[in-house]
Structure 1
Amino acid sequence: MEDSKLARINELYKKSQNEGLTAEEKKEQADLRSEYIKAVRNNLRGTLNNISLLNPDGTVTELSKKNKQ
Structure 2
Amino acid sequence: MLPKEQIERINALANKSKTKGLTIQEQVEQKKLRDAYIEAFRGGMKKTIEGVKIVDEEGTDVTPEKLKEIQKNKGLHGR
TM-score, normalized by the shorter chain, greater than 0.5: yes
Question: Which residue is equivalent to 1:28?
Answer: 29
- The secondary structure found in structure 2 opposite 1:52 is coil
Amino acid at match of 2:67: S
**Equivalence map 1:37-52=2 (5 Å):** 37-52=38-53
Unaligned runs of 5+ in 1: none
Determine if the alignment matches structure 1 residue 65 to structure 2 residue 79: no
After superposition, the Cα gap between the structure-2 partners of 1:53 and 1:25, relative to the gap in structure 1 and judged at 3 Å, is same
Aligned residues: 67
**Equivalence map 1:8-23=2 (5 Å):** 8-23=9-24
Identity of aligned residues (%): 33
Runs of 4+ in 1 over 4 A off after TM superposition: none
Report the TM-score when normalising by structure 2: 0.72
Report the TM-score when normalising by structure 1: 0.81
Deviation at 1:59, TM superposition (A): 3.9
Question: Which residue is equivalent to 1:54?
Answer: 55
Distance 1:54 1:16 in 2: 46
Distance 2:63 2:52 in 1: 9
